[in-house]
């Protein structure tokens, strides 16, 4: 039986060539890379964030141990999607802790600007640890070919919102961002997308400026369609 007809051979990283070497070594390489990121984050964190720094250091040590144990013990990652997904969640949580390192935390019982971001980042990292460990001891599908369309357009929608909210206002920016993000899938239906984008835009226009009282500009500078009804 050839390797192409044997799903087990294709999934355990025993294939030949560069692809086979990468499949066999990638669990160790990715864990080691994320461990270095965690150690660097712990190193640059201020002394005031000692509690958060301890969490980051523990995550880094755990990733480093994982990078050593997998090749030494010859562990086979049965569920590579969960394993790599869990490690990526840990890395995102660590990077979020690094990004919020200068924000003040709790003072007594009062929440500071950095309390919620750090709390969510720690929960995300711990969740990722659980998912990654489960991927080591369970069987699952192999990692499929990565599709760039979805992530690229979702990130593009975020940049569209950030670049347009001030000059174009909330109405046009929300509508454009929703349409761009909807194009992230090749199953998009444009008529339904435009209708749903219009509904969400109206909801955002009512919620943020009026419902929550946030000082968000609805329309571009010099344009106010509401004047037609005054």
pLDDT in tens, the chain (230 residues): 444 433 434 444 444 556 667 777 888 888 899 899 889 888 887 665 667 778 888 889 988 998 888 888 777 888 888 888 899 899 898 888 888 777 766 665 566 667 778 888 889 998 998 998 888 888 877 766 767 788 899 999 999 998 988 888 889 999 999 999 999 988 889 999 999 999 999 998 888 878 777 778 888 875 665 544 45
Of 210, 209, 174, the C-alpha closest to 194 is 174
Q: Are 44 and 101 in contact (CB under 8 A)?
A: yes
Instruction: Give the pair of three-digit tokens for residue 153.
Output: 């357009």
Q: Where are the beta strands (DSSP E) in the chain?
A: none
């Amino acid at each position: 039986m050839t390797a192409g007809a044997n799903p087990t051979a294709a999934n355990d990283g025993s294939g030949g060539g560069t692809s086979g070497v990468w499949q066999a070594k990638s669990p160790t390489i990715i864990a080691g890379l994320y461990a270095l990121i965690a150690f660097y984050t712990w190193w640059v964190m201020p002394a005031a964030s000692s509690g958060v720094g301890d969490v980051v250091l523990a995550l880094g040590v755990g990733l480093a141990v994982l990078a050593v144990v997998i090749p030494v013990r010859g562990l086979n990652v049965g569920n590579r999607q969960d394993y790599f997904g869990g490690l990526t969640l840990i890395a995102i949580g660590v990077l979020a802790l690094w990004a919020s390192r200068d924000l003040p935390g709790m003072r007594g019982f009062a929440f500071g600007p950095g309390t919620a971001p750090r709390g969510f980042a720690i929960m995300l990292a711990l969740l990722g640890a659980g998912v990654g460990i489960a991927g080591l001891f369970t069987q699952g599908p192999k990692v499929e070919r990565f599709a760039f369309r979805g992530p690229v357009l979702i990130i593009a929608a975020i940049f569209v919102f950030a670049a347009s909210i001030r000059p174009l206002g909330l109405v046009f920016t929300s509508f454009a961002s929703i349409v761009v993000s909807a194009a992230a899938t090749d199953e998009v239906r444009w008529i339904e997308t435009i209708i749903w984008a219009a509904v969400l835009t109206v909801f955002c226009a009512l919620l943020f400026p009026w419902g929550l009282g946030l000082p968000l500009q609805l329309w571009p500078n010099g344009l106010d369609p509401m004047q037609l009804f005054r």
